[in-house]
Structure 1
Amino acid sequence: MKLSAFAKIAAIGGIAALTLTSCAANEGGSASGSDDSAATSSLSGELVGAGASSQGSAQEVWVAGFQTANPDVTVNYEPSGSGAGRETFQQGASAFAGSDRAFKAEEISAGPFDGCATGDIVEFPAYISPIAVIFNVEGVDSLKLDAPTVAKIFSGAITSWNDPAIADQNPDVELPEGNITAVHRSDDSGTTGNFTEYLAAAAADDWTAGSIETWPTEFGGEGAQGTSGVVSAVKNGSGTIGYADASQAGDLGTVDIKVGEDYVPYSPEAAAAIVDASSLEEGRTEGDLAITLDRTSTEDGVYPIVLVSYLIGCAEYEDAANAELVKSYFSYIVSEEGQSAAQESAGNAPISEDLRGQVQTAIDSIS
């Protein structure tokens, strides 16, 4: 099943509890911000979530908007990382999780999900963003690299910035002789999973570790905790290179990735294009909208290192109060208002109307 045209969209981290409180809107979770809507909201209680730090900026905005619409609700989201978020959710310590990958089918089968009344879960894309390859080399703002070269840099096979594999693709760039310090996530990370999935698909001969969320120690490099940790290590180092959600790239140098015969810079539109060229995984339940990304696509304008970050909840909750709050919060997040708010704050690509319809159907099935 093909997803609809994201390309038509013209637009477009440490561990901490993100808790914001405000006032105003309706029971369905729509955050209009009006006094009238505030008076109609009957939702109350505390909603706890944890997971992907890549969603951190977006979650701040979503929490604020939802609590403005529902002043008697407190939402706590801890950006502890995708792996920690999935574990917390499975243990029933949080009502929902954010994750930079969907649960694998075998993980769902193995379970258990302690806060759920059944073994089924609901998960769907809520935050779509390119993963930028960021670097800090004095005097260099942009580089062009193909997948094998990126793989060799992060596996330790290329150690100098003026290596011919880099220089040949950047003949107009004056590259230093200095050593490369490759920075990776030290924590179990969905961002790492997405990044290594790209390397495994597009540079299999040079990246032998496969698609993994825990960085292989044999490849060395410098580890840093969370998205913010990687960005900080690259920014404060010299001759450093790393990977992070593109919204956090700031003024660091970035890499244009070779796709077919062209080099494509990251952008929300290019990230949307790779999702548009991909399909939903087969063999999943109707509420489990996991995407199989085509990392080797050569279509024009596609940026293949993309993060599709999911929201995950129970198909049926042991606690009915959690079901009501999760349904309302998820509905606000995927609404046009919620997606537009995140776009403005975090620079992600809003989900398409067609995908929104599929996602809302999955959310509505939560009980």
Structure 2
Amino acid sequence: MLKKTIAALAASIITASAANISGAGASFPAPVYFDWAYMYQKATGNQVNYQSIGSGGGIKQVSARTVNFGASDKPLKPKKLDRKRLYQFPAVIGSIVAAYNIPGIKDGELKIENKDLAAIFMGKIKYWDDKRITEDNPGLNLPHKEIVVCHRADGSGTTFNFSYFLAHVSEDWANNVGIGKALDWPTGLGGKGNEGVASLISQNPYSIGYVEYAYKLKNGFGAAVLQTASGKWVEAKEENFKAAAKYAKWTPAKHFYQILALQPGDNSYPIVAATFILLPREATEMNKEVVKFFDYSFKHGDEDAKKLGYIPLPEQTKEMIRSYWKEHGIY
């Protein structure tokens, strides 16, 4: 009886001391955040509940203080962070791919020039056997089938990074569609979250959409070969994502604001993006709990991130983030 009482008391102490952390935002890093949360709960008993609702929703919820942390693939500039009273730091790096579902065309067989990708998402290239595509793919049997464009329907950091890339490779896109988390799409089907776009691609033969690489791996999509900043063909592969990511120049004084698209280098994949965590500045004690989760993930979660197709932050960057946490009294 005494042993049972002691065991029950110990369990109640662990439960009482366990932190329940809530976060919401980007679907881009959701697979790795779910894995990290599971790992962290097993190790510490602390629960991290993350809602994959899109970067726009994450920014809104943390700004309204309805969650303990927000997540966004679109970094906020220092002035906006000051206005919203938020801290910001990167958590992991991922890549956005042009994922396709074309029967008979295997992964990595299809080449699309960057400017032509913009034309596809503007509805100006309508068929897979358009001359602009077939010229870059001699010997590939591209069908005379209408291209089904799949895009995001919600406020999305993935859309921000994808549209940033397209605006820098296509003047037509820059002038007529622009850059943003939510766009007035000229064509296509809209889905919520990377999950929703992946579902649309799966359901629609002859489709193309943009998703984070983890969703491409999970669903077995093909990914188009795109071009580096200098115009060289580059495959959607981990080594090419890493080649681009190494050019990141993080500045803690600017709350790590950095956009990673179109980095230099012969093998740099053109649409690489960091994903960021946003914390309310006044919530010091809860921020310490959130920071413990990410610190644990930085120390123990790199292999999980790699398995899912993400690029862990370099150790030097992690130390920079820890110094940033210390500076703000949350580590």
TM-score with structure 2 setting the length: 0.87
CA distance in 1, matches of 2:226, 2:19: 46
The answer to whether the 8 Å contact 1:279/1:292 transfers is: no
Out of 247, 257, 276, the position equivalent to 1:310 is 276
Out of 146, 160, 167, the position equivalent to 1:200 is 167
What is the identity, as a one-letter code, of the residue corresponding to 1:67? Q
The answer to whether the 8 Å contact 1:182/1:221 transfers is: yes
Out of 269, 272, 283, the position equivalent to 2:239 is 269
The answer to whether the 8 Å contact 1:52/1:81 transfers is: yes
Deviation per CA, 1:124-149: give whole Å up to 9, x if none: 22121111101111111231111110
Alpha-carbon shift at residue 61 of structure 1 (Å): 1.2
The answer to whether the 8 Å contact 1:124/1:312 transfers is: yes
Q: Structure 1 residue 94 and structure 2 residue 67: aligned?
A: yes
Deviation per CA, 1:37-87: give whole Å up to 9, x if none: xx999952211111111222111111112112211x222111111110111
SS state of the match for residue 363, structure 1?
helix
The answer to whether the 8 Å contact 1:323/1:366 transfers is: no
CA distance in 1, matches of 2:262, 2:272: 12
The answer to whether the 8 Å contact 1:128/1:272 transfers is: no
What is the identity, as a one-letter code, of the residue corresponding to 1:285? A
The answer to whether the 8 Å contact 2:113/2:226 transfers is: yes
The answer to whether the 8 Å contact 2:227/2:234 transfers is: yes
Query: Structure 1 residues 268, 312: closer, same or farther in 2, change over 3 A?
Result: farther
SS state of the match for residue 149, structure 1?
helix
CA distance in 1, matches of 2:264, 2:20: 46
CA distance in 1, matches of 2:324, 2:222: 39
CA distance in 2, matches of 1:81, 1:206: 23
CA distance in 2, matches of 1:277, 1:55: 20
Alpha-carbon shift at residue 261 of structure 1 (Å): 4.4
SS state of the match for residue 307, structure 1?
strand
Q: Which residue number corresponds to residue 5 of structure 2?
A: none
CA distance in 2, matches of 1:42, 1:101: 36
Following TM superposition, the consecutive aligned residue runs of length 4 or more in structure 1 with deviations greater than 6 angstroms are 39-42
Q: Which residue number corresponds to residue 361 of structure 1?
A: 323
Out of 215, 222, 226, the position equivalent to 1:253 is 222
Q: Structure 1 residue 213 and structure 2 residue 177: aligned?
A: no
How many residue pairs get aligned? The number is 311
Deviation per CA, 1:231-283: give whole Å up to 9, x if none: 111111021100000111132121011123421111233222223224336xx
Q: Sequence identity of aligned pairs in percent? A: 26
Query: Structure 1 residues 230, 80: closer, same or farther in 2, change over 3 A?
Result: same
Out of 253, 265, 276, the position equivalent to 1:285 is 253
CA distance in 2, matches of 1:327, 1:277: 26
Q: Please, which runs of 5 or more residues in structure 1 have no aligned partner?
A: 1-38, 112-118
Query: Structure 1 residues 290, 272: closer, same or farther in 2, change over 3 A?
Result: farther
Out of 56, 74, 89, the position equivalent to 1:124 is 89
Q: Please, which runs of 5 or more residues in structure 2 have no aligned partner?
A: 1-12
Q: Structure 1 residue 300 and structure 2 residue 266: aligned?
A: yes
The answer to whether the 8 Å contact 2:94/2:213 transfers is: yes
CA distance in 1, matches of 2:129, 2:323: 52
Q: Structure 1 residue 338 and structure 2 residue 301: aligned?
A: yes
What is the identity, as a one-letter code, of the residue corresponding to 1:230? V
Query: Structure 1 residues 185, 216: closer, same or farther in 2, change over 3 A?
Result: same
The answer to whether the 8 Å contact 1:130/1:267 transfers is: no
User: Which deviates further from its counterpart, 79-88 or 250-259?
Assistant: 250-259
Q: Structure 1 residue 81 and structure 2 residue 54: aligned?
A: yes
Alpha-carbon shift at residue 214 of structure 1 (Å): 0.6
CA distance in 1, matches of 2:15, 2:312: 26
Kindly report the root-mean-square deviation, in angstroms, between the aligned alpha carbons of the 2 structures.
Answer: 2.1
The answer to whether the 8 Å contact 2:160/2:180 transfers is: yes
